């Protein structure tokens, strides 16, 4: 066995023939250009049904890493919830019945928290619409606290979305409470000042910024140059008595956990997940979530977590193979928790290295992020491990800012780092596999000429830095784990239904 086998994930680096706004194409990438000429390469499907999402749904980092680690197509939150709603089974879910009953028993308020977006990355607006209809059917008033997106969708899509939301609220006896951009409500990098800002409005400790009309408030933000992601927290002036209070029931409709956990921690605490103590403590809040927010003190999860057997990490461990996971803060959960099938686990002979992401307001201000620091930490460790899972976050995280210039720099940074990693892997006699988990950076300009900040459905690159082999051209992300096992001469378990993508 030649070691190490290094899987390098260029997060958000997609492929398209359109050169306008295509940061990877416009970037100076001599290393990757050289590797493409020297080694066998192909493309991978990283969106839609190829990764267990609805047809035409853009890929994302959570789903991408789950498929990568599982070695199979995994049907995750979005698909499972959509099917439940479409099959008319939502009101039959045990936890759904429970939280409606609990509101009535307590005589308390029912709150929905949700990212309002059609992006399908962290939430889907249709899920809230379904719960609103169900609440109306149950004759249960409710309050919606809405978080605006502008990151996984167009930066100015909230206005259109809220026309639908307000119509639904009026028809289903709902009220709009707090509005906040996801920058504040959905931080995952322990910027607690952001979360506290929206938390203060949710619990009624701050009512300074108010609005009469959600549409007018969103429009005024646009006039001030503020896009959806960064809309300041504010409360509806007619809903000042609709804040979250002791004994209330809260349902968080984001199905993806990583950007829901910090706000959830402020509401109900967690089991040794964060040390941070919120500025205000609520008592006896019942918090339900669509999917499991691991280590958060949830009352119940509406949809049980999937249990993936024989993920790559588990198979490596069973065979006594050492493994390293390394990424900066923004993508650390992806190479650990998500890669291991939505579980946080420490296998024997596994090491995890977390490099802190830079503390900047937005990553276009530092497009290098912590990629150089990752490489510095990685290189001396390579000789110690059989398998390395490595993520460079730059193309995705900087791509989300909408800055083409900064995203070009982000791609150039990753190219430089890959050059250093490739050189050391070559020296050690190992194999470097280069892929991406979804597209983003290759489309930085929308069709109307505005900045494009969302993911894409484009194919992603696939390079195996090994001469004398041939690659299949119909691969998906779920084929990568079996491919790695084949290099290690480890039998592929039956649960891994992906296929090996190379032959000699």
Compute CA distances 382 → 342, 427, 477, whole Å. 26, 10, 24
Any binding-site annotation on 331?
yes
Any binding-site annotation on 396?
yes
Separation between Cα atoms, residue 153 and residue 119, nearest integer Å: 6
Element (H, E) at 45: strand 41-45
Any binding-site annotation on 275?
no
Any binding-site annotation on 151?
yes
Strands 41-45 and 475-476: parallel
Strands 300-301 and 323-328: unpaired
* CA nearest neighbour of 327 among 242, 423, 392: 392
- How many other CB atoms sit within 10 Å of the CB of residue 107? 7
Any binding-site annotation on 256?
yes
Any binding-site annotation on 340?
no
Separation between Cα atoms, residue 238 and residue 210, nearest integer Å: 9
Any binding-site annotation on 61?
yes
Peptide bond into 451 cis (omega under 30): no
Any binding-site annotation on 261?
no
Residue with tokens 């691991």: 294
Any binding-site annotation on 188?
yes
47 is catalytic: no
Q: Which of 2, 17, 47, 61 is catalytic?
A: 61
Q: Which 3-state string (H, E, C) describes 230-287?
A: HCCCEEEHHHCCCCCCCCCEEEECCCCCCCCHHHHHHHHCECCCCCCCCCCCCCCCEE
Separation between Cα atoms, residue 260 and residue 275, nearest integer Å: 16
Separation between Cα atoms, residue 387 and residue 366, nearest integer Å: 30
Any binding-site annotation on 380?
no
Binding site members: 11, 61, 122, 151-152, 182, 188, 256-259, 331, 396, 400, 437-438, 455
Binding residues for Mn(2+): 11, 61, 396, 400, 437-438, 455
**Active site amino acids:** 61
């Amino acid at each position: 066995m030649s070691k190490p086998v290094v899987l390098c994930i260029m997060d958000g680096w997609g492929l398209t023939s359109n050169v306008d706004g295509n940061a990877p194409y416009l970037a100076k990438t001599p290393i990757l250009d050289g590797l493409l000429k020297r080694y066998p390469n192909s493309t991978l499907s990283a969106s839609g049904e190829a990764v267990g999402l609805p047809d035409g749904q853009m890929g994302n980092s959570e789903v991408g890493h789950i498929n990568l680690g599982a070695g199979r197509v995994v049907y995750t939150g979005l698909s499972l919830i959509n099917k439940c709603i479409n099959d008319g089974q939502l009101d039959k879910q045990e936890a759904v019945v429970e939280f409606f009953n609990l509101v009535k028993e307590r005589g308390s308020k029912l709150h929905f928290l949700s990212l309002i977006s059609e992006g399908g990355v962290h939430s889907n607006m249709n899920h809230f619409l379904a719960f609103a209809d169900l609440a109306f059917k149950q004759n249960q008033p409710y309050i919606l606290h809405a978080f605006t997106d502008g990151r996984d969708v167009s930066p100015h899509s909230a206005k259109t979305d809220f026309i639908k939301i307000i119509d639904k609220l009026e028809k289903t006896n709902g009220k709009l409470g707090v509005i906040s951009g996801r920058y504040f409500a959905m931080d995952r990098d322990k910027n607690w000042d952001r979360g506290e800002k929206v938390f203060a409005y949710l619990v009624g400790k701050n009512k300074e910024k108010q609005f009469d009309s959600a549409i007018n408030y969103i429009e005024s933000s646009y006039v001030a140059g503020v896009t959806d992601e960064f809309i300041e927290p504010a409360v509806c002036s007619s809903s000042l008595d609709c804040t979250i209070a002791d004994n209330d029931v809260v349902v968080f409709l984001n199905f993806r956990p990583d950007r829901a956990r910090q706000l959830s921690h402020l509401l109900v605490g967690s089991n040794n997940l964060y040390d941070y103590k919120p500025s205000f403590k609520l008592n006896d809040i019942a918090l339900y979530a669509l999917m499991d927010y691991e280590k958060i003190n949830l009352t119940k999860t509406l949809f049980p977590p999937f249990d993936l057997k024989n993920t790559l990490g588990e198979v490596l461990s069973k065979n006594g193979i050492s493994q390293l996971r390394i990424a900066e803060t923004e993508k650390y959960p992806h190479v650990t928790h998500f890669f291991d099938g939505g579980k946080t686990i420490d296998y024997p002979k596994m090491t995890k290295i977390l490099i802190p992401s830079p503390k900047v307001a937005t990553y276009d201000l530092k497009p290098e992020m912590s990629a150089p620091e990752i490489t510095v930490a990685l290189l001396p460790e390579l000789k110690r491990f059989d398998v390395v899972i490595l993520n460079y976050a730059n193309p995705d995280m900087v791509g989300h800012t909408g800055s083409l210039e900064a995203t070009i720099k982000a791609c150039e940074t990753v190219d430089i780092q890959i050059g250093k990693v490739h050189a050391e892997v070559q020296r050690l006699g190992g194999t470097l596999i280069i892929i991406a988990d979804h597209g983003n950076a290759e489309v930085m300009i929308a069709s109307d000429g505005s900045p494009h900040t969302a993911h894409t459905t484009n194919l992603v690159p696939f390079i195996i830095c090994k001469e004398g082999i041939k690659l299949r051209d119909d691969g998906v992300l779920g084929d990568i784990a079996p491919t790695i096992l084949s290099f290690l001469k480890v039998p592929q378990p039956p649960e891994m239904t992906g296929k090996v993508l190379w032959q000699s």
